[in-house]
Amino acid sequence: MSSWSGGYVLDIPYTSGFYRELAPTYLDFVLATTSAIRTPRLDRPFTYCELACGQGLGTALLAAANPHGTFWGLDFNPAQISNARRLAGEAGLTNVHFLDQSFEESVNSPSGTFPKFDFIVLHGIYSWINEENRALIVRFLTENLKPGGVVYISYNCLPGWSAAAPLQRLMREHANRHPDRSDLQATAALAFAEQLQKGGARFFTTNPSLAPRMEKMPSLNRNYLAHEYLNGHWHPLYHLDVARELDPARLTFACSATITENIPELALPAELQALGEQTREPAWRETIRDFAANRQFRRDLFLRGVNTMPLRELMATLADLRIALVNPDYDREFKLQGPLGEVAGQKALYEPLLEALAEQPKKIGTLALLPAFAERPFATLLQALQLLLHAQVILPLYHDAKGKVGDTARAFNRAMAARLRMGETYNFFASGAAGTAIAATYTEQLAYLALAENPRMEANAFPAFGWPIMQQTGQRLVKEGRTLESEAENLAELEAQAQIIWTRKLPIWRALHVV
């Protein structure tokens, strides 16, 4: 282990991903509709920083989708920062800066190194580091966040990790006794844990909640497993303690970035709702909700100074915001996943709302006039939109995406799609209209590459374009959980997928200024 790692896994890179909760547009929508909070304006220049940005995909993608923002990504792993700069360079981004700095180096940077930030985000890292580094993060927030600025901070939390914490310690200690590359250590440590479980170790039999975790772990990315289970300073935290640690930075808890956790009817069993809502202390209320749901991961939003809008101002602010349908194959039973399990939405509300959005994106003010909502409080419409966003059925469109906004997103998408020829896959597209990303399958990325190289390509020509690239890179499609091995099977699946992409996906991509 490197002397400068501080117990953190460095010999293998962390997974490259995008987390929608880190998007400024998502954060703005959640804070406004959940708590009527004014946030930094997104229709003018703003500043954004991701601490521990990893491979930098998320930061680069957001920079592409929000070219009027200035983005910074900091990470102490130079290999990851080198990759982040490569991504930004290939996409031609000029509004993003990546620095290989530790938290200590960032805090001690010369005055003027960083601008004051409207948004500072940290995903997962806070519970993977020691107390000293957490204190340095608080100093960075204190010195670099604007008044009214937003902090997103996610972390492994208690009580949900209580049963599994000994498993993490077991795997870490096994790895310490078997030196090797970290992903191989993680594989061996998991096999050792499985041996104990199958041998009847009472730790597993007396903690039956571990069974689903143990069943899932073999399918997880080994790089993720190494970072989650082998880090030397891995400490799930109570929300109460996180709030206290952030208090010196003058930060106030606003709400959860996980929308359903802010709705008492979904966050608490009926018998506990009165108990959970009778306190005015937010940290204690959140702790009660954590125990009610046995939550193991939190996505918290804090602000330096909370300013709330009266209802009329909120309605006026949101009235012109357009909403787009991004998943035409949504669940017609309107079932949503909440903190306590699956819940059913009111069909009388969701069906007319989604029928209206199926025609084209519409302003919230227009949706409020639908018969289903015209006689209801404005909050009813906002909660319906919140839950559809949570279910990844809709997206708010913050930008008109004309000119530079749409151009930078499309340039990023073309650059990432071109990496398919090198066998490198990125499962997201930047949206210039939404200021965020949408998920993309391998076949959809391949179709994007085809259209980037030949905008007039028809669906029936796509299999002949895609199959040679798949052959060169050893890629095969998966259907119903089975890998398709033969050329005939892959060509047939490419043909089937092409019909869906050209008829159903392309209109959505155009509305979102993805293509």
Instruction: Judge if 65 and 97 occupy the same domain.
Output: yes
Of 178, 210, 229, the domain-final residue? 229
Secondary structure letter of residue 13 according to DSSP = P
Whose CA is closest to 229, among 193, 277, 273? 193
Instruction: Judge if 146 and 280 occupy the same domain.
Output: yes
d(CA 266, CA 380): 15
Domain count, the chain: 4
Res. 276: pLDDT tops 80:
no
| Domain CATH code at residue 80 | 3.40.50.150
Mean pLDDT of 221-247: 92
Instruction: Judge if 291 and 356 occupy the same domain.
Output: no
DSSP character string of 62-118: HHHH-TTEEEEEEES-HHHHHHHHHHHHHHT--SEEEEE--HHHHHTSPTTSSPPEE
Amino acid at 342: E
Of 346, 363, 397, the domain-final residue? 397
Instruction: Judge if 218 and 172 occupy the same domain.
Output: yes
Instruction: Judge if 411 and 393 occupy the same domain.
Output: no
> pLDDT tens for residues 67-108?
999 999 999 999 999 999 999 999 999 999 999 999 999 999
Q: Is residue 98 part of a domain?
A: yes
> What does pLDDT average to over the chain?
92
pLDDT for the residue 1: 42
Instruction: Judge if 283 and 378 occupy the same domain.
Output: no
DSSP character string of 109-167: SPTTSSPPEEEEEE-SGGGSS-HHHHHHHHHHHHHHEEEEEEEEEEEEBTTTTTTTHHH
pLDDT for the residue 413: 95
Q: Is residue 259 part of a domain?
A: yes
End-to-end Cα separation, the chain, in angstroms? 44
Q: Is residue 2 part of a domain?
A: no
pLDDT for the residue 277: 73
Res. 347: pLDDT tops 60:
yes
Distance of CA 24 to the CA centre of its chain: 11
Q: Is residue 9 part of a domain?
A: no
Instruction: Judge if 332 and 358 occupy the same domain.
Output: yes
Show the domain range for 42. Answer: 20-159+236-303
Of 354, 370, 397, the domain-final residue? 397
Tokens 């060509």, residue located: 491
Q: How confident is the model at residue 16 (pLDDT cuts 50, 70, 90)?
A: low
Mean pLDDT of 348-363: 93
pLDDT for the residue 4: 43
Distance of CA 322 to the CA centre of its chain: 22
Number of CB atoms found within 10 A of residue 192's CB: 17
pTM (2 d.p.): 0.92
Q: Is residue 312 part of a domain?
A: no
Instruction: Judge if 24 and 58 occupy the same domain.
Output: yes
Q: How confident is the model at residue 222 (pLDDT cuts 50, 70, 90)?
A: confident
Instruction: Judge if 64 and 85 occupy the same domain.
Output: yes
Instruction: Judge if 477 and 500 occupy the same domain.
Output: yes
d(CA 26, CA 398): 10
Q: Is residue 5 part of a domain?
A: no
Counting residues of the chain whose pLDDT is more than 90, the rounded percentage is 81
Res. 402: pLDDT tops 80:
no
Res. 11: pLDDT tops 70:
no
Q: Is residue 309 part of a domain?
A: no
Q: Is residue 15 part of a domain?
A: no
